[in-house]
Amino acid sequence: MVTPAWAANADIQLARAIAGNDIGFLKRQLATGLGVDHRINSETLLMIAARKGRDEIVKLLIGKGADVNAKSGKGHNAMSFASRYGHLDIVQDLLNHGAEVNISNNNNWTPLLKAARGGHLEVVDYLLAHDADISRRNSSGQDALALARRYGHKNVIQYLRKYKRDDK
């Protein structure tokens, strides 16, 4: 199915509003009937806001009932985007509103794996404190420690080693 030009244009405006943190524009669109789980290229508005670190927009969308566990065509989700980019406040908001801590994409990447790969120690710590499964591996067989090693995140490596020792 071909997307009409007017719809594609509206999606571009929405994406720009989220990227530019234009909460007023988004509020107006929601008030005139835009669905809170509207998708742009298979990603929900919440996923886009989580990836961009737009915490006020995330709060708005969650408050309007956005599905915090929705997945894109590739299985990406708001938790994985927030974790990947180190947006701790958004990870906290999502978990406080029912997001799954061990939600995974189509390649078995969990938020913990994304945070470890990105070297986001505060996010790694928060996820583990909220029952993230440290033993989970992606489809390539890598766990959080292996990813932290691969990408040279020494602080995350030390933390995960200590966490594994203390967990025994």
Domain of 5?
1-100
Residues of the chain with pLDDT under 70: 1-8, 167-168
Q: Which of 100, 124, 144 is the last residue of a domain?
A: 100
Residue that terminates a domain, selected from 100, 123, 147: 100
pLDDT of residue 8: 65
Q: Quick one: 78 and 139 in the same domain? A: no
Q: How far apart are CA 124 and CA 141, in angstroms?
A: 19
pLDDT (0 to 100) of residue 6: 47
Residues 62 and 142 in one domain: no
- The pLDDT score that the predictor gives to residue 2 is 44
pLDDT of residue 116: 98
Q: What is the 3-state secondary structure (H, E, C) of 19-73?
A: HCCCHHHHHHHHHCCCCCCCEECCEEHHHHHHHHCCHHHHHHHHHCCCCCCCCCC
Verify that 67 and 22 share a domain, yes or no.
yes
Structural domain ending residue among the three candidates 52, 76, 100: 100
